[in-house]
Structure formats: C-alpha cells, structure tokens
Amino acid sequence: MTPQQSINLKAKTAALAAMQRLPIEPTSLVNYRSKGRVVIIGDNQALEIAPRLNERLHAMVILTQGVEEPGVPLIPLGGRAIHIEGYLGDFRILLAGGGEHNTETIAADLILDLSPTPLINAQMKPPGYVYSEMEEVALQAAVEELEELTGSFEKPRYFDYNPDICAHGHAGKTACNRCIEACPADAIKSLAETIEVNAHLCQGGGVCATVCPSGAIRYAYPNPKDNLDRMRRLLSVYREEGGFDPVVVFIAESDDFVTDSLPTNYLPFLVEELASVGLEFWLSTLAFGAHSVLLLNGGGVPERSVKALEEQLRTVDEIITAMGYAAGLVSLIAPEDLDTEQIVSMPAIKPAGFSGLGGKRQTAYLAIDHLFTEAEKPKPMVSLTVGAPFGKADVDANACTLCFSCVGACPGKALQTGGEGVPQLLFIEDNCLQCGMCTRTCPEDAIWITPRLLFDADQRRQKRKLHEEAPFLCTSCGKPFATRSVIDNMLNKLQGHYMFQNERARKRLTMCEDCRVIDIVQDQEAMNGGIDGRFRQ
C-alpha cells in the first residue's frame, strides 16, 4: 500500500464512522400476520411437497393437473383460471371459469407456486409468495423459506405521498404514469386524479421516488434530507482527513457486497435499493465534491428499475456535458467491472454546502446551480431527451382562448394567470415538470412542451408571458369579464343551439354574469323556460 493509499484508507475509515453517527429519522411500520396457511399450486408433485412442511404450516393444494390422492386437502383446478392478489398473511386466490357457480375464492397466508412459470408477473414478488422450480435444491430452499414465514412481521413504510403536487391526473385526464410504469412490485395503481401505493406490496425499491418529476412520492427511510446530510458529511470528513480523489459507490444492502474489497478512495454508500436514489442525489454527490459516482448493480435490480436508472443517467449526462464536464461521471456498472472500469473524474471544484431541507426539485436545482457556477465554459441552455423533468411550454396564440384550463391543471404551478384587468397566461420554467397535463387539458390543443434546462437560475424563475389579449367588455355595463376569443368561440359553438336562436338570447352571451342574470329576469320568454311557445309545456 502506497503512502497516499494509507492516507485515503484512514480518511475513509473516519468518514464512514462520522456518517454513521448521524441519526436517521424513523418512519412508521407496516405489519404482517401469518398463521401458516399455505396454498401450494402445482401438479401431482405438489402433493408430494405438502407432507414435507413442518407442523407450523397447514397446506392445501390447488391441483392444476394430475390425479387426486387421499390425505392432502386439495382443490382441483378443473381448467379454471388462477388470479392471485394480496401479500403475506392476506392472499386471495380467485379460481374462475366455466360458469358462475364454478368460481371460488381461497384465502391464504402463504403461497408456494410450482407452476412452469410464475403466476405473478411482478418483478418484485409480494412478501409471502414463493416460486420454485422443481429441482430438489430449489424446492428445499422454498420449503425452508416458507417455514420462516409464520408469526408477526414488520417492515419500514418506505414512502410518503403528497397528492397535492402529483402530476398523475386532473379532470378526467391522465398525464404522468411514471411511478406506475416503473414500480417492479406492481404496488401502485391509479385512482383517477391521484395514485395509491399499497404499503404491504411496496418493498422499498424506491424507483417510484426516483422517476417522480414533482417529488409527490418521496423515499421515507432514510428520507432524502438524512441521506443528503450523510453524503455531505462523508465527503467533508474524507477531505478533512486528507483523502484524495473520492469516488462514491452506491451499493444496495441486499447485494451483500464486501465493501472492504473496494480501493481505498472508493467510498461505499449503502442504500436499501439501488434505484431509490436518482438524478438529484447523484448531482448533489458531485456538487459535494465526489470525483465520480458509481452505481453498483450486483444483479438484483429489476429490469424496470434498470430502465428508469438508464433514463436518469442519460439526463444527467446531457446536463453535465452541457456544462463542460465529462460524460460518464455517474455510471451504472457490475461488480466485476470495478477493476477494469475507466473512471471519469470531475475537475477540482469548491464543494457545495446546501442541505436537503427542500423538496426534490429544489435539491436538483441547488446541485445544478452549484455545478454550473463552478464550470469553466458552460452553455446557457441544454436540450434534453423526452422524459426529462425540466423544460418549457409554448402556446399557439392563434388557437389559445385564454380559458386558463391549463392553469388549473398544472401540478407544478408553472402556468399562471397574470395582469391587472388584462387576461394573460404566464409561465415559470423553473416549475415545469414536463408532465404533459397542460397539453392534455387544453380544449384547443394550443400548448406544446419541450424538454430543456436553462442554467441561468434567474431566467428560469422569471414569469414569462405566453399569451395576452385585450379583455372583452360587457355589452351592457362595459365591465371586462372575458377575452374576445372566448366570446367568439362560445358564440360559434352555440350557433345552432335551440336556446340561442333569437338575437336577445345570443346577446346575453356577450354580457357579464350580473347583467346576464338581470336580462334573463326581464325576458318573459326566457323565464317561461323556452325561446318561444314551441318549448313550453
């Protein structure tokens, strides 16, 4: 070991110890209760497995095919379809097909699935669901796993959800499905305008929080603030103790990787799951002084999560290269590539000192702004690939009627009204999530969005005027109450409506609300419920 390696090792040891001393805010717990009711799904071999279970387990077999044998409780499948819902202690197995009277539901605490392929397609299977191939070694491991799953269990509640800033849906329109599509446990479902996370199915994969553009879903254990504080302390103490060239390596605790085998300047940072930290955390790590960031995939990251990580990595590369830094400062690698990976390093910069007290987007912007300030020759703006959570909105002035449907739908408050008595549509790029809610709710298809990032923070935060019209004045009292395009659009759409066939009724559409009410009361024909006698009863 060289003298510098010795210094690095001493600095790493001190830094890891200092990081571990920081407290982590606890989260609530999710509870399970299993009484050992096991349903084994399979053919005749399932009947042979049931007697092997210990006395704490009570087995029933759903016989998919084969001959019934005495002594084992079973239900013949009889050609019916199998649908499984639930989790440890609360599974419901629906057998359906062949008529209404041939349907039944079976309750179970545990499931042993011996089908040719798993009946549950989720990449992260529910707790209590065990799938096994028919080889003896695999079967014995499955039996031992089941025998450990009786009694009471608890785990952390891994997420917090704030529906107020969720970009999933509005007024019957769906925009953002990123968390639903990325969740490897299929624990998230749509509730029209919001989403629901099943805490019993959630296993802490964390990719939902990583892909969420607004921070509506937040990883709860450890929470973002605690993780950022730990990372800042890790790198700060490492530098103070004389360590050089720190490379931060994110490692999933479930991978059981031996961190002692890492080079002396590689600082391990353990997370519940690799996908539980994303773009804002990686950029913060670079801003705190890491020379490089490695995401160590030991093979346990589900395919959906890998895809989400790769999309975030692409966005990070686009941002940092536009600042003049090298591509690949954050990379996803396998353990076997640690020795051969060509590490890309940051130039020396002044380390940032911000905390994680803000939300997800605030953290991302703090990191981006710091890296931009430290960059030598950054570009003023970077175009990003579709799916990035930063960007702008534009409006077709010839189509926009300033109805402000987009303003009410925008979850990030990027679109706003403005002007004293002058109808205006304003835009704050700093707030834009690129969720597409505005494009889906605009009745005139007048809005489009473009992913990009302005590096000038002041310019990003400015209110920019997208469209403005002179107000339309009430034809009765002269008060401004709408825009000319709104009135013209309304007159055009109601041109053939039976209630607006006479001139007086049509003129009411050009009046403000107060004058419209007064005119209706003074119009005997309108008060009688029709335009003329043809509509009276």
Are 140 and 170 found together in one domain?
no
Looking at the predicted structure, is the pLDDT value of residue 63 above 50? yes
Are 407 and 515 found together in one domain?
no
Are 281 and 405 found together in one domain?
no
Looking at the predicted structure, is the pLDDT value of residue 465 above 60? yes
Give the separation between CA 452 and CA 50, rounded to whole angstroms. 59
Q: Please state which of the ranges 107-121, 246-260, 265-279, 402-416 shows the lowest mean pLDDT.
A: 246-260
Are 60 and 171 found together in one domain?
no
- From 134, 155, 176, the end of a domain falls on 155
235 in a structural domain: yes
386 in a structural domain: no
Q: Quote the domain boundaries for residue 127.
A: 30-155
pLDDT tens digits for range 242-284: 999 999 999 998 887 888 889 999 999 999 999 999 999 999 9
> In this structure, what CATH number is given to the domain that contains residue 418?
3.30.70.3270
Give 532's pLDDT tier (boundaries 50, 70, 90): very low
126 in a structural domain: yes
Radius of gyration of the chain (CA): 30
Are 150 and 162 found together in one domain?
no
Are 507 and 447 found together in one domain?
no
> In this structure, what CATH number is given to the domain that contains residue 50?
3.50.50
Average pLDDT of 154-169? 95
Give the separation between CA 295 and CA 293, rounded to whole angstroms. 7
**Are 478 and 514 within 8 A, CB to CB?**
no
Query: Global pTM?
Result: 0.86
385 in a structural domain: no
How many structural domains compose the chain? Answer: 5
**Are 168 and 190 within 8 A, CB to CB?**
yes
Give the separation between CA 491 and CA 483, rounded to whole angstroms. 13
- From 219, 243, 270, the end of a domain falls on 219
3-state secondary structure of 198: coil
- From 170, 201, 219, the end of a domain falls on 219
Give 536's pLDDT tier (boundaries 50, 70, 90): very low
Are 227 and 362 found together in one domain?
yes
3-state secondary structure of 422: coil
